[in-house]
Chains A and B, each alone.
Chain A
Amino acid sequence: MPVSKDLVAASATPLVLAILAEGDSYGYAIIKRVAELSGGHLQWTDGMLYPVLHRLEHQALITAKWSTSETGRRRKYYRITKEGRRQLAAQRQQWQVVDGTLRGIWLQACPA
């Protein structure tokens, strides 16, 4: 079951921030982690991750650093900032509100 585009776009920021909160990472690994976490249901067009990362970097929620990977190529690693963690907490609360609200109505409207 693929998730709709709008939902994917809306969840991109908290997902990226949360993955980076686990530890520094780079584009390809973030994509893989998303696929793993969602069991393959959240399908991103790989390239679209990078504008998101750059936007977050611009907002100083994450920082980036080029360093050499184990394969010898240069790779851009991202790290979450203090401000990013604060943003992540705020996003988490918002998503919990949405989730809680939906949960309440799911049970009454269409009991699974």
Chain B
Amino acid sequence: MTAFADQPLVEEQIAQWREYLRRRQAFHGSDIEELEGHLRDQLTALGEAGLTGEEAFLVAVKRIGALDALSREFARAHSDRLWKQLVIGPGAADESTPGAQTEMVVAVGLAIAAALAVKLPALFGLQIDESDQPFYFRNAGLFVLPLLTIFFVWKRKSGLAAALWLALPFAAGAVFANIFHFGPNSDTERLTALHLPMALWLAVGVAYVGHHWFAGEGRMNFVRFSGELAIYYVLIALGGAVLVAFTVMLFASIGMKADWFIGRWLVPCGAAGAVIIGSWLVEAKQSVIENMAPVLTRLFTPLFTVLLLAFLGTMAWTGSPINVERQVLIGFDLLLALVVGLVLYAASARDPQAAPDVFDALQLLLVVSALAVDGVALAAIAGRISEFGFTPNRVAALGENLILLVNLVRTAWLYARFVRHRGPFASLERWQVAYLPVYAAWAAVVVIAFPPVFGYR
């Protein structure tokens, strides 16, 4: 095209105009390129007619039309674009960069590595569906989480030193999962299987936030990531279940049993690989889909509040005591964990600067009623704990209950201050993220100290 005397100015204006278009969802990259081509053709023609660059730009932009009307027309012609598409890998997405492609290759590579890691012990004769099952449960976290950590170390470019530091907890985990000689059908072994991934998840978190562990915001991002990963994982698992069902059905129809393949390969390898793939999707698609966890929080906070209040009311009305059975403590642990989760994810989606509203009052009510319910349960259990004796399961459950209780008491206190305009919301958020390592620390205690203390029962 013929260059204007004031060409740099024109280029700058074109760049700005392109930026305006890009901000609107209705335009894709190729539309913008097409419209820009039009604009430039028009500028050339106007320049030949004797206009200066700036004049030509004004006229050409005016002829293309108002952006609002234009983006409305584009949206009507492409109504599918109002649905943000979650595309795996590059292709249709215009914004995909070479970096995104490398990341996909790395993620898929690590997912395959995780799937193979699950099969590695089989080379040494340990089969997943035989008497070696406890070995697989104890080490479940160790097949996948180191690879997930590698993914984040790679992605955050944390460097070799960080990677070596992060290798330590995994090495320790591998040692404590395997040095103890657990008795048959051992409770402490089951506790190890349950708590080791919880402890190691903290190491994943450190890798996730990279260098910003103490910045606070990084840890909140890790909380968000964990919630979204859980949701993605459930979705992938549902798809996996359908795949398994069809595998069984198809091979059964030709008189073959696919059980060994499903039990030894498809399910364990898929479950391991899905963690990496899910994490990569959460990372890559952060901006594409709205966060799901806060939405679920909003939906279920009122419902759980009603449930707890109804429970307390019924108990007060009928006077019937809590029937203390074996599993009841674990049930109340889960309840507290759920309430902490609701608080955490509500906090993760909240603007810390916003003034308290009805939802905050509702959250406070939820926390307080959960505390009341748990208090009643603990009182009932305390009376009979000596009667039951201190089994590993009961001590672990009691410890968890206390940890969650401390968190919620402090949360209730900070929430009450915030709702009464006595303190900022940020202090509540800070408390929640500062408390995260406590869970991992307790999980580590259960893994390391419980087996010897309780004689590997």
Chain A residues at the B interface, C-beta cutoff of 8 Å:
26-28, 31, 45-48, 50-52, 54-55, 58, 66, 69, 71, 73-76
Whether B63 lies near A76 (C-beta < 8 A) is no
Q: A27-B38, A45-B69, A76-B34 are in contact. List 6 more A-B contacts (CB 8 A).
A: A28-B42, A31-B38, A46-B65, A51-B76, A54-B31, A69-B37
Inter-subunit contact B78/A28 (CB<8 Å): no
The distance in angstroms between the C-alpha atoms of A55 and B74, with both chains bound, is 9
- Cα distance, A49 to B186, chains bound together (Å): 73
6 residue pairs A–B, Cβ–Cβ below 8 Å: A47-B35, A47-B64, A48-B70, A51-B73, A54-B31, A74-B33
Is B41's CB within 8 Å of the partner chain A?
yes
Interface size class of B (residues with CB under 8 A): 20 to 34
| Closest chain B residue, CB of each to CB of A66 | B30
Determine if B41 and A28 form an interchain contact, defined as CB atoms under 8 angstroms apart. Answer: yes
Best-buried of B30, B33, B35, B38 by chain A (most CB within 10 Å): B38
| Residue of A with least CB distance to B76 | A51
Is B77 among interface residues, defined by CB-CB distance under 8 A? yes
Q: Name the residue on A nearest B44 (C-beta).
A: A71
Nearest CB of A to B239, in Å: 30
Q: Establish whether residues A74 and B37, one from each chain, have CB atoms under 8 Å apart when the complex forms.
A: yes
Which residue on chain A has the smallest CB distance to residue B70?
A: A47
A26 to chain B, nearest CB (A): 8
The answer to whether B65 and A47 touch across the interface, beta carbons within 8 angstroms, is: yes
Please tell me if B1 contacts chain A, counting CB pairs below 8 Å: yes
Most B CB atoms within 10 A — which of A45, A52, A66?
A45
Query: What residues of A have a CB within 8 angstroms of the CB of B34 in the complex?
Result: 27, 50, 76
Q: A46-B65, A51-B73, A58-B77 are known contacts. Are A73 and B40 too (CB-CB below 8 A)?
A: yes
Is there an interface contact between B76 and A76, defined as CB atoms closer than 8 Å?
A: no
**A45-B65 CB under 8 A given contacts A27-B38, A28-B38:** yes
Determine the distance from Cα of A74 to Cα of B69 in the docked complex, in whole angstroms.
26
Digit string of B23-45 for contact with A (CB within 8 Å is 1, else 0)? Answer: 00000001101110110111010
How far is B64's CA from A47's CA once the two chains are assembled, in angstroms? 4
**Which of A28, A31, A74 neighbours the largest number of chain B CB atoms within 10 Å of its CB?**
A28
Name the distance in Å between B21's Cβ and chain A's nearest Cβ.
Answer: 10
Q: Which residues of B contact A26 (CB under 8 A)?
A: 37
What residues on A are CB-neighbors of B73 within 8 Å? 47-48, 51
With A51-B73, A76-B34 in contact, do A46 and B42 touch (Cβ < 8 Å)? yes
Q: Are A46 and B38 in contact (CB under 8 A)?
A: yes
Do residues A45 and B77 form an inter-chain contact, with CB atoms below 8 A? Answer: no
Bound complex: CA of A55 vs CA of B79, how far in Å?
11
The interface residues of chain A lying within 8 Å CB-to-CB of B74 are 50-51, 54
Closest CB pairs A-B (n = 10): A45-B65, A51-B77, A28-B41, A47-B65, A51-B73, A47-B64, A47-B70, A55-B77, A46-B63, A54-B77
A71 touches B35 (CB 8 A): no
Q: Which residue of chain A has its CB nearest to the CB of B34? A: A76
Given the interface pairs A47-B70, A55-B77, A76-B37, the reply to whether A71 lies near B65 with Cβ below 8 Å is no
Q: How far is the CA of A38 from the CA of B78 in the complex (A)?
A: 29
Provide the residues of chain B in CB contact with A27, threshold 8 Å: 34, 37-38
On chain B, the residues within 8 Å of A76 by CB distance are 30, 33-34, 37
**Could you tell me the distance between the alpha carbons of A66 and B31 in the complex, rounded to whole angstroms?**
12
Return A105 CB to nearest CB of chain B, in Å: 33
Q: How far is the CA of A28 from the CA of B64 in the complex (A)?
A: 10
Tell me which residues across on chain B come within 8 A of A50, comparing CB atoms.
31, 34-35, 38, 74
Q: Considering only CB atoms, which chain A residue lies closest to B75 in the complex?
A: A51
In the complex, residue of chain A having the shortest beta-carbon distance to the beta carbon of B36: A73
Q: Are B63 and A45 in contact (CB under 8 A)?
A: yes
Docked pose: A76 CA to B34 CA in angstroms: 7
Of A46, A48, A52, A71, which is in contact with the most chain B CB atoms at under 10 Å from its CB? A46
Q: Which B residues lie within 8 Å of A45 (CB)?
A: 63-65, 69-70
A47 to B65, CA, bound (A): 6
Chain A residues closer than 8 Å to B69, beta-carbon distance: 45, 48
Residues of B within 8 A of A55 (CB): 77
Cα–Cα distance between A94 and B38 once the two chains are bound (Å): 32
For chain B residues 255-314, which have a beta carbon within 8 Å of chain A?
none
Q: Residue on B with the closest CB to A69?
A: B37
Residues of A with C-beta under 8 A to B64: 45-47
Specify which chain A residues have a CB less than 8 angstroms from the CB of B33 in the assembled complex: 74, 76
Whole-angstrom CA separation of A51 from B72 in the bound complex: 10
In the bound assembly, the distance between CA atoms of A71 and B76 in angstroms comes to 32
A50 to B30, CA, bound (A): 11
